[in-house]
A and B are shown apart, each in its own frame.
Chain A
Amino acid sequence: MAKINLKYIAHFSLLTGKLEEGIEVREKTTVSDLIKRLEQKYGGFEEALIDEKTGRLNSRNKVAIRKAGGWTENITTLEGLNMELSDGDTLIFW
C-alpha cells in the first residue's frame, strides 16, 4: 500500500467538504483509478476533470503531482491519467 496526500482547492473543496486528506492506495494505482475512487466517494470528479468525448483530462481543471522532494507538475505534462502513484506523492486538484 502507498500513502498519498490529496489537496482540494476551490470547487474541489466544495465537492469533498475538505481542504486536504491522506489516503492509502494499492501499488500500481493510477491517477485514473484515483479519480474513479474519488468519484464514487464524493461525486463530481469525473465531470470536472474528464473530457466526455475523448476520455482524457480536460483543460477546465487541473491535477498536479508532487513526488517526495520533487517539483510540482501538472500531470498532463507527465504521463497523464496513466501515471502510477507512489508512496509519499501529493496530488493537487484545482
Chain B
Amino acid sequence: MCGWRGTILNVDLSSGKIDKEKLPEDMARDYLGGRGFNIKTLYQELEPGVEPLSPENILVFGTGPLNGTPLGCGRMTVTTKSPQTGFFVEGNNGGFFAPELKFAGYDIIVIRGRADKPVYLWIKDEKVEIRDASHIWGKTTWETDRIIKEELGDPEIQLRYIGPAGENLVNTSIILGNLARAGGRGGAAAVMGSKNLKAIAVRGSGGVKIARPREFQEALLEIWEDLDVDGSKDPFTRIWGLYGSPIVLRIQQEYGTLATNNGQEGVFEKVMDISGEEFLKNYVVKPKACFCCQSPACSHWCEVRDGPYAGTRTEGIQAGSTEALGSYCGISHLPAIIKGHALCNELGIGMFSTGTTIAWAMEAFEKGIISSKDTDGLELRFGNHEAMLQLIRKIAYREGFGDLLADGVKKASEKIGKGSQDFALHVKGLEYTAVEPRSSHVAALMHAVNDQGSDHTRAYPPYPPSPQAVPQEIVEKLPFDLRKASDDSIPDEKGKFLKWLFDSRATLNCLEFCLFNSRARTFADFRPFAKAITAATGMKFSADDLMEVGERVINLERSFNAREGAGRKDDTLAKRYLQEPFSKGGKAGFLPPLEELLDQYYEARGWDPETGVPTRGKLGELGLGEVADQLETLAKQMQGKHDGKD
C-alpha cells in the first residue's frame, strides 16, 4: 500500500502471541486511519459491558496515512474503553512515535489480554518482542524513557509509556511519550497498567511510500502556505508560533471566560502572573515541536531558575497547564504551576483532570464540606500551591486523600456528597477542560454532546471559519449559515455548525493531521487534504469523501456508547454551567440554553431527538447497517428486561 504501511500488529499479552495482519483496503478507505481505525476496531472487538480493567478490554494505537510523510505531524490516537466513564476514550498524542511506527512497518497496534508480570513491547522493524519490565515498574515516565533507551542502546527509539499513576490504576492517568506528549484522559494509562504493559518502544528503518510524489508535493505546499507564520490568515498561527498556547490566558481573561476557583468566576485577578508573556519572558529555554511540524513552537522546553522550585525542567506547558493547575485552583505562582506540570508528566496523570479535581476539593474545603481531617492535614484553600503539589503525588500513588481523588471528580463528589456534586465539573464522568461552557453556545454544546466526556480537543478551534480566510466558493457550500453561526448573541445555527465542526475535525484526526494547524483556509477547505491523501495513497478521495469519513466515525463512536447505555440523558453539563452565570467580566450573565441546542444538534445529525442515538436511516447512509441491527437488537433486549421487571 502507499500512504499506509498495510499492516496491523496484534499483541496478546496473555498468551504472548504476536501476529501481523493485512490492513483491509475497505477499512483504509472508510476510516482513513488513527481515530477511525481505532473506533472501528474497538466497536468490532468489544462486547457491550466489558469491564475496562479486565484482560478483555483492548488498547488500540492508530496512525494515519500522512504520518511519516513531510506533511504528517507526529499525531496519533490511542483508544480504549474507559475505567472512568465506562464509555470509549481516546487520546491524541503528538511527538515522534507515530512516524517511527510507520517507519517500522505498522499502521495500528492492538493490545489484548494481560501479561502475568510487568512487560514492555519492543518493535524493531519486523522483529517484535515482549520484554521483561520488572526493573522499570514503579519508575517515572522520564526514568522509563531513559532506562529503555539505554537498555536498547539507541537514543532515537520512540516510546509510549505509563507512570506510577497508570500502574496504580488511577482513573485520571494518561499515556505519555517524548517526555511530555500526553493523551488518553479517562484512564487509558490505567488500562495499560491493568495489562502490566509499562511501555511500547519502536524503531523503524523503512519509509512511507507516496503513490504520486509530484502531486503530493503540490498539495503539501498548499497546506504549508496556510501555516506560514507571517502569511497565515488565522489569528492564532503567528502568536502560537512564538508563545505557544499559554498566550490564550489573557485572551480568555478579556473575554471573561478564564475559569477561576473551580469555575466560580471567569476572571482571574492575577492572570498577568501566569500569562503567556510572563512564561516566555522568564521561563522558556527553547521551542519544541512534533515531527515535521510547521509551527515553530506549540511547545517549549522551560526551566525554573530560582525560588523554592529552582531546578525544575520540563516541556509542554500549554494553556491547559496554566489554567488547570493555575486559575482553576486560584494559583498564580507560575513556578509552582510548572512544577505541577512536571510532576503530572513524570507520574503520568492528566493535568486537566487533576486540576479540575483538586479545584473541586478546594471548593469543598472552603465551603466546610470537607476539613483537614479528610485531607491528611492539608489546608486545601484556593491559591495553596504547596498543597496542590502534595496532592498530585498523593493522587498518583493513591495515598490517603489522594486515593479518593484518583477516581476522578464525579466519583469523589458522589462519595463526599453534601451538595458537592453540584460543583463537580465533568461531563459523562470526565473532568472539564479548557474552553468554558459558559463562553459560547457552541462551547456548551461541544462539551455536552462530546462522546468521551468533557473535552475541547475534538471541536477545535471552537469558532466558525473566517470568510476572509476561506475561498468564497467554500463559504457558499458550508452546511450552516456562517453569519448566524458566528453571532454568539443567538443560539441559531449552532447545532448545524457543531456537527460540521465535529465531522471535519474527526476527519483530521483520522488523517492524524494536527487540529492546531488547520485553522485558516484549510479550516473549511478540505480540497488540499483530498489532493494530498489521493496523491499519497493512490486512492481517489474528494473533499466530500473525507467529510463523510468524519461523520461515519462520529456515528460509530456514538453507537459504541449507545451499546453501553448512553444517550440524551448523558449529554448534559454540570449544574454550575447551567445555573450559575459569571457575575463579572466579558461574558457575565450568560447561560447556555442546552435543551434547545441539543434539539438542534440531533436534528442536524439525523439522530433520534428523544434518545440522542443514531437512527437506522443515518447509519445506513454511512454504510453502518450492521451497527443499526445491533443497536435495535440491544434496544429490544433492554425493553424485554424492562417489561419483565414491570
Query: Which A residues fall within an 8 A CB radius of B?
Result: 7, 9-11, 13, 19, 51, 58-62, 64, 66, 69-73, 77, 90, 92, 94
Residues A90 and B234 in contact in the complex (CB < 8 Å), given A59-B469, A66-B586: no
B255 in the interface (beta carbon within 8 A): yes
- Total interface residues in chain B, CB < 8 Å: 31
Q: Is the CB of A71 within 8 A of B238?
A: no
9 CB contacts below 8 A, A to B, read: A10-B247, A13-B277, A19-B275, A60-B233, A69-B588, A71-B590, A77-B486, A90-B254, A94-B254
Given the complex of chains A and B, what is the CA–CA distance between A49 and B73 in angstroms?
A: 30
Alpha-carbon distance A58/B234, docked complex (angstroms): 9
CA distance A11 to B235 in the complex (A): 11
Most A CB within 10 A of own CB, among B232, B468, B588? B468
**Max count, chain A CB within 10 A of own CB: residue among B242, B272, B277, B586:** B586
* B65 interfacial by beta-carbon distance below 8 Å: no
> B251 an interface residue at 8 Å Cβ cutoff?
yes
Q: Are A10 and B254 in contact (CB under 8 A)?
A: no
Cβ of A38 to closest chain B Cβ, rounded Å:
17
Residues on B facing A (Cβ under 8 Å): 232-235, 237-239, 242-243, 247, 250-251, 254-256, 272, 275-277, 466, 468-469, 486-488, 520, 585-588, 590
The residues of A that contact B468 with a CB separation of less than 8 Å are 51, 58-59
In the complex, how many angstroms separate the beta carbon of A44 from the nearest chain B beta carbon?
A: 13
Contact partner of A71 among B251, B276, B586, CB < 8 A? B586
**How many Å from the CB of B488 to the closest CB on chain A?**
8
Rounded to whole angstroms, the CA-CA distance of A73 and B227 in the bound complex is 26
| A7 surroundings in chain B (CB, below 8 A) | 250, 254
A46 vs chain B, min Cβ distance (A): 16
| Contact flag A11-B238 (CB < 8 Å), given A59-B233, A60-B233 | yes
Taken together as a complex, chains A and B put the C-alpha atoms of A64 and B250 apart, in Å, by: 13
A53 to B244 CA separation, bound complex (whole angstroms): 30
Known: A10-B247, A66-B586. A61 touches B235 (CB 8 A): yes
From A9, A19, A62, A72, residue with most partner B Cβ within 10 Å = A9
Contact A64:B254 (CB < 8 A) given known A10-B247, A11-B242, A59-B469: yes
Closest residue of chain B to A54 (Cβ to Cβ) is B468
Main secondary structure of the interface of A (DSSP, over half): loop
Give B469's nearest chain A residue, CB to CB: A59
Residues of A within 8 A of B238 (CB): 11, 60
Q: Which 4 A-B residue pairings sit nearest by Cβ, starting from the closest?
A: A72-B586, A59-B468, A59-B466, A10-B239
CB pair A72 B587 closer than 8 Å: yes
A7–B586 Cα distance when bound, in Å, is 13
Interchain CB contact under 8 A, B233 and A77:
no
Bound together, the chains give a CA A60 to CA B231 distance in angstroms of 9
- Asked if residues A62 and B235 are in contact (CB atoms below 8 Å), the reply is yes
Q: A9-B250, A71-B587 are in contact. Are A94 and B239 (CB under 8 A)?
A: yes
Q: Are A72 and B254 in contact (CB under 8 A)?
A: yes
Residues of chain B within 8 A of A71, CB atoms compared: 256, 586-588, 590
Which residues of A sit under 8 angstroms from B587, Cβ to Cβ?
71-72
Dominant secondary structure at the B interface: loop
Query: Assuming A19-B275, A94-B250, what are 6 further A-B pairs, CB within 8 angstroms?
Result: A9-B239, A19-B277, A51-B468, A59-B466, A66-B586, A71-B587
Nearest CB of chain A from residue B364's CB, rounded to whole Å: 31
Nearest CB in chain A to that of B465: its residue: A59
Residues of B within 8 A of A59 (CB): 233-235, 466, 468-469, 520
Considering the chains assembled together, what is the distance between the CA atoms of A13 and B586 in angstroms? 21
State A60–B247 Cα separation when bound (angstroms): 15
A93, closest chain B residue (CB): B254
A11 and B239 contact, CB distance less than 8 A: yes
Q: Are B486 and A10 in contact, with the CB atoms below 8 A?
A: no
A10 x B243 contact (CB < 8 A) = yes
* Bound CA–CA A42/B616 (angstroms): 61
Query: A59 vs B237: C-alpha distance in the bound complex, in angstroms?
Result: 11
Would B276 and A10 count as touching, CB distance under 8 A? Answer: yes
User: In the complex, which residues of chain B have a beta carbon less than 8 angstroms from the beta carbon of A77?
Assistant: 486-487
Alpha-carbon distance A70/B586, docked complex (angstroms): 6
- What CA separation (Å) do A59 and B251 show in the bound complex? 16
- The distance in angstroms between the C-alpha atoms of A94 and B242, with both chains bound, is 13
Find chain B residues with CB under 8 A from A58 CB. 233, 468
If A64-B255, A66-B254 touch, whether A10 touches B232 (CB-CB below 8 Å) is no
**Complexed CA–CA distance, A10 and B239 (Å):** 6
Residues of A within 8 A of B469 (CB): 59
CA distance A90 to B486 in the complex (A): 22
Cα–Cα distance between A9 and B236 once the two chains are bound (Å): 12
Assembled-state Cα–Cα distance A77/B232 (Å): 21
Whole-angstrom CA separation of A58 from B237 in the bound complex: 14
- The CA of A4 and the CA of B588, in the complex, are separated in Å by 20
A-side contacts of B486, CB under 8 Å: 77
How distant is B467 from chain A, measured CB to nearest CB, in Å?
A: 8
Interface centre among A7, A59, A77 (most CB of B within 10 A): A59
User: Once bound together, how far apart are the Cα atoms of A64 and B254, in whole Å?
Assistant: 9
Cβ of B313 to closest chain A Cβ, rounded Å: 25
Residue in contact with B251 in the complex, picked from A9, A60, A73, A90, CB distance below 8 Å? A9
- Closest chain-A Cβ to B234's Cβ sits at a distance in Å of 7
Q: Are B235 and A72 in contact, CB atoms less than 8 angstroms apart?
A: no
| C-alpha gap A74/B590 in the complex (Å) | 17
* Complex contacts, B247 vs chain A, CB 8 Å: 9-10
CA distance A33 to B235 in the complex (A): 22
Interfacial chain A residues near B488, Cβ < 8 Å: 73
Interfacial chain B residues near A11, Cβ < 8 Å: 238-239, 242
B350 to chain A, nearest CB (A): 27
Report the minimal beta-carbon distance from B494 to chain A, rounded to whole angstroms: 15
Residues of B contacting A73 in the complex (Cβ-Cβ under 8 angstroms): 488
Contacts of A69 in B (CB 8 A): 588
Indicate if the CB atoms of B251 and A94 lie closer than 8 Å: yes
User: Nearest Cβ distance between residue B464 and chain A, in whole angstroms?
Assistant: 11
Give the CA-CA distance A66 to B256 in the complex, in Å. 10
Minimal Cβ-Cβ distance residue in A for B276: A10
- Using CB atoms, name the residue of chain B closest to A92: B254
Measured between alpha carbons, how far is A64 from B585 in the docked complex, in Å?
14
B231 to chain A, nearest CB (A): 9
Instruction: Determine how close the nearest CB of chain B comes to the CB of A53; give it in whole angstroms.
Output: 11
Give the residue name and chain of the B residue nearest to A12 (CB).
B239
Contact B254 A9, beta carbon cutoff 8 Å: yes
